[in-house]
Amino acid sequence: MLKIYLNGKIVPEEEAKVSVFDHGLLYGDGVFEGIRSYNGRVFKLNEHLCRLFKSAKVIMLKVPLSISDLEEAILKTLRANKLHDAYIRVVVTRGKGDLGLDPLKCLSPTLFIIASKIELYPAELYEKGLSLATVPTRRNEVEALNPAIKSLNYLNNILAKIEARNSNALEGIFLNSQGYVTECTGDNIFIYTEKGNLLLTPPVYSGALEGITRNCVMKLAKEEGIGVEEKLLTRYDLFCSDEVFLTGSAAEIIHVYKIDGRVIGEGKRGRVTELLQKKFKELTQREGTQIYK
Ligand code: PMP
């Protein structure tokens, strides 16, 4: 039985309940983060919380705790569950309101933290890689619901996930309305080309989340002398690259061997993907906020 942090208290899972009038549930009005801890340390905690506060600011939602109090609440939740390697979900909703949309009628935001064991993709998948499909649903427009906001409204991503599964793929590639590649349903995407020794990823303004893992990988690649650029990419660029991989807190770094039936590079994990996986793993073991002091 998990122990959940809910509005200032640690409660058993069966007591962790929110109102059916919570606008997080009624309208997807809220923001969240998915964070990892490795070996008793929370990885990039401050970066995740800064992104949470930015998402909240954009939707004019006041997070009921300061960054440092929220950090402490997360560590407390991990300790209550005696976790070392965990997946942490932090959710802030608009709170309880009436059946209308008006967020001003929601007087007190709901904040909960779930810390649980991490369920990874099976190890074989990291050997074999992923086969991806481009999905018909386009990524939310930056001018409508900016994908840089990590909001509770994930229906765009869920539709894309359904379409990917309908095409027998575990992940789907989102294009924006101009036809440029943006990201996947829950991960950022990178391509590597031997020619020029270049690692490319779509810019956030094309319609992607500014992934914490994405930022780490870009930094690690630069440290390895690889050229890194944020660039508008088409499916052609993906098909003709030497390596493709996805990044995310849950998936970490996973290579892609096929996209829409086209084999990528030699159809196996590439040299640069393997190098970045190794460097990323070292970083996760070395860095982070200690849970048990
Ligand atoms: N894009 C989307 C749509 C996501 O939901 C996620 C996971 N939070 C990512 C990218 C990867 O972001 P991060 O590396 O911060 O987990």
Q: CA–CA distance from 20 to each of 26, 95, 97, 98 (Å)?
A: 7, 10, 10, 10
| Ligand 1 neighbour 183 (Cβ under 6 A) | yes
What structural domains and CATH numbers belong to the chain? 3-116 (3.30.470.10), 125-285 (3.20.10.10)
CA 156 to chain centre: 14
Residue 246: which pLDDT band, with cuts at 50, 70 and 90? very high
pLDDT, position 75: 98
What is the number of other CB atoms lying within 10 angstroms of the CB of residue 69? Answer: 12
Query: What is the rounded average pLDDT of the residues 165-175?
Result: 97
Cα of 250 to ligand 1 centre, how many Å? 8
**Residue positions annotated with a catalytic role:** 150
| Ligand 1 neighbour 36 (Cβ under 6 A) | no
Atom 10 of ligand 1, nearest CA residue: 187
Among candidate residues 150, 140, 135, 283, the one with its CA nearest the CA of residue 210: 150
| Ligand 1 neighbour 172 (Cβ under 6 A) | no
Q: CA–CA distance from 141 to each of 70, 146, 148, 238 (Å)?
A: 31, 6, 11, 22
More confident residue, 85 or 119: 85
Indicate which atom in ligand 1 lies nearest the CA of residue 188. Answer: 10
| Ligand 1 neighbour 247 (Cβ under 6 A) | yes
Cα of 151 to ligand 1 centre, how many Å? 11
| Ligand 1 neighbour 213 (Cβ under 6 A) | yes
Averaged pLDDT of the chain = 97
| Beta carbons within 8 Å of 59's beta carbon, 6+ residues apart | 29, 31, 149, 151
Atom 4 of ligand 1, nearest CA residue: 186
Percent of the chain with pLDDT over 90: 98
Q: CA–CA distance from 181 to each of 104, 117, 162, 205, 216 (Å)?
A: 36, 32, 18, 11, 20
Indicate which atom in ligand 1 lies nearest the CA of residue 34. Answer: 8
Atom 5 of ligand 1, nearest CA residue: 186
Cα of 186 to ligand 1 centre, how many Å? 5
| Beta carbons within 8 Å of 49's beta carbon, 6+ residues apart | 33, 67, 70, 71, 90
| Ligand 1 neighbour 31 (Cβ under 6 A) | no
Q: What is the pLDDT of residues 273-291, one digit of tens each?
A: 999 999 999 999 999 999 9
Residue 48 near residue 214 (C-beta atoms within 8 A): no
Residue 259 near residue 267 (C-beta atoms within 8 A): no
Cα of 188 to ligand 1 centre, how many Å? 6
Pocket test for ligand 1, best of 89, 184, 209, 245 (most atoms within 8 A of CB): 209
Is the predicted pLDDT of residue 243 greater than 80, yes or no?
yes
Q: What is the pLDDT of residues 111-138, one digit of tens each?
A: 999 999 987 789 999 999 999 999 999 9
Residue 228: which pLDDT band, with cuts at 50, 70 and 90? very high
Cα of 99 to ligand 1 centre, how many Å? 31
DSSP per-residue codes, the chain: --EEEETTEEEEGGG----TTBHHHHH--EEEEEEEEETTEETTHHHHHHHHHHHHHHTT---SS-HHHHHHHHHHHHHHTT-SSEEEEEEEE--B--SS--GGG--S-EEEEEEE---PPPHHHHHH-EEEEE-SSPPPPTTTS-TTS-BS--HHHHHHHHHHHHTT-SEEEEE-TTS-EEEESSSEEEEEETTTTEEEE--GGGT----HHHHHHHHHHHHTT-EEEE--B-HHHHHTSSEEEEEETTTEEEEEEEETTEEPTTSS--HHHHHHHHHHHHHHHH-SEES--
